[in-house]
Amino acid sequence: MNLVERVKNILTSPKQEWTVIDAEPVNVGELLTKYVLPLAAIGPIATLIGMSVFGFGGLFRVPIGTGLMAAIVSFVLAVAGVFILAWVINALAPNFGGQQSMHQAIKVAAYSATPQWIAGIFGLVPALLPLAMLAGLYGLYLFYLGLPILMKVPQEKAMIYTVVVIVAAVVLFLVAGAVTGGIVS
């Protein structure tokens, strides 16, 4: 798997890329080290630099120790979030006529987070962080496209399955955001 090619394809031609991803065998260790870890690190590193070096419009800067702690927690939560979300995806699959497969669920969770991770670069300029949230919305769309394909959910149940998992994901990431935010403040 080529990281740059996969990112480009999942962002620009997601319907075709989900079909390719579905057919690929997954090596979880390789997916983690060659895709999740590098991409999940973008936001925390950029935000650390943005908040600690550049600050918020020159008004104040977050102390480097606090920023570093927030970056580490954010990174760990992003990686853990993939596996927790995959567990939710996998656990709910039979309720919607889908097939359980933790490997497929991990692929859905990891690849649908791509736009949000890439948009983490906006953390260099803290005022641009809302743009990263917009990228997260595109991630939800990717999730909607990939979830039924990889988890083999019948089309008539795909929408509700997607909504239920997205609600679970939103709760998961709000909690993660609250934890990270609590460290910074």
For residues 116-133, average pLDDT:
87
Q: Residue 182 pLDDT > 70, yes or no?
A: no
pLDDT tops 90 at residue 150: yes
Give the predicted TM-score (pTM) of the model: 0.87
Asked if pLDDT for residue 129 goes beyond 80, the answer is no
Tokens coding 35: 């895709």
**SS3 sequence of 24-79:** CCCCHHHHHHHHHHHHHHHHHHHHHHHHHHHCCCCCCCCCHHHHHHHHHHHHHHHH
Instruction: Give CB contacts under 8 A, 24+ apart, made by 100-106.
Output: 101/150, 101/151, 103/25, 103/26, 103/28, 104/22, 104/26, 104/150, 104/151, 105/150, 105/151, 106/26, 106/28, 106/31, 106/82
